[in-house]
């Protein structure tokens, strides 16, 4: 995984728990590189999971809830640092539909070695979308948080349900329903 994800996770943790707590948690997490990450580095997803679990143990917040919080954090980061992906979108569905064919295309140009999840979307009704997330990484809750944050960014109210595919645990189906 790209180091920027790790750097932003640590920034979120510092904002939520304070720098001293972050230092203590990272020291106790038995990380391969002692919690030192750079934005340009590449690191195993298992390290990210270790960090989330360590902060869960520190805070009492479930790992899934922390991943959702991080999804919100990252969408805010993306809006601030990559506004071009948001400026021509009128709603969350338009943004979600652009991930695979627009956003990930640009990410691959910058980082050809990036191992990105895949997304497919289908509008099943004017106010409903099915989004299929496929990744070998256990980050479906992070994706859920990003979807929530996208709805909030466009000031839309909606519900999100998710279900892991029983046949393929690397696939999670999200059903997003906008409130009228």
pLDDT at 74: 96
User: What value does the mean pLDDT take over residues 112-123?
Assistant: 92
- Taking the C-alpha atoms of residue 31 and residue 117, their distance in angstroms, rounded to an integer, is 24
pLDDT at 37: 93
- Taking the C-alpha atoms of residue 18 and residue 36, their distance in angstroms, rounded to an integer, is 17
**pLDDT of 57 strictly over 90:** yes
pLDDT at 34: 83
Note the pTM of the prediction, 2 decimals: 0.93
- Assess contact for 148 and 74: CB atoms under 8 A: no
**pLDDT of 75 strictly over 90:** yes
Percent of all residues in the chain with a pLDDT value above 70, rounded to a whole number: 100
- Taking the C-alpha atoms of residue 71 and residue 7, their distance in angstroms, rounded to an integer, is 14
Strand partners, 121: 131
pLDDT at 40: 86
- Assess contact for 178 and 152: CB atoms under 8 A: no
**pLDDT tens across 124-150, in order?**
999 999 999 999 999 999 999 999 999
pLDDT at 78: 94
User: What value does the mean pLDDT take over residues 102-108?
Assistant: 91
Q: Which of 25-39, 64-78, 160-174 has the lowest mean pLDDT?
A: 25-39
Place of tokens 């479930």: 62
Which of 39, 40, 22 lies closest to 31 in space, CA to CA?
22
**pLDDT of 112 strictly over 90:** no
């Amino acid at each position: 995984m790209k180091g920027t994800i790790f750097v932003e996770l640590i920034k979120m943790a510092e904002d939520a728990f304070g720098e001293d707590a972050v230092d203590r948690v990272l020291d106790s997490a038995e990380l391969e590189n002692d919690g030192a990450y750079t934005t340009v580095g590449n690191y195993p997803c298992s390290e990210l999971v270790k960090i989330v679990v360590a902060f869960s143990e520190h805070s009492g917040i479930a790992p899934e809830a922390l991943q959702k919080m991080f999804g919100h954090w990252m969408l805010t980061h993306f809006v601030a640092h990559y506004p071009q992906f948001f400026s021509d979108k009128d709603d969350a569905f338009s943004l979600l539909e652009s991930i695979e064919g627009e956003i990930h295309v640009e990410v691959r140009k910058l980082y050809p070695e990036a191992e990105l999840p895949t997304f497919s979307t289908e509008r099943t009704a004017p106010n409903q979308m099915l989004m299929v997330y496929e990744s070998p990484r256990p980050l479906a809750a992070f994706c859920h948080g990003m979807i929530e944050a996208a709805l909030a960014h466009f000031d839309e109210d909606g519900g999100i349900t998710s279900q892991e595919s029983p046949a393929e645990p690397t696939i999670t189906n999200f059903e997003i329903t906008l409130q009228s």
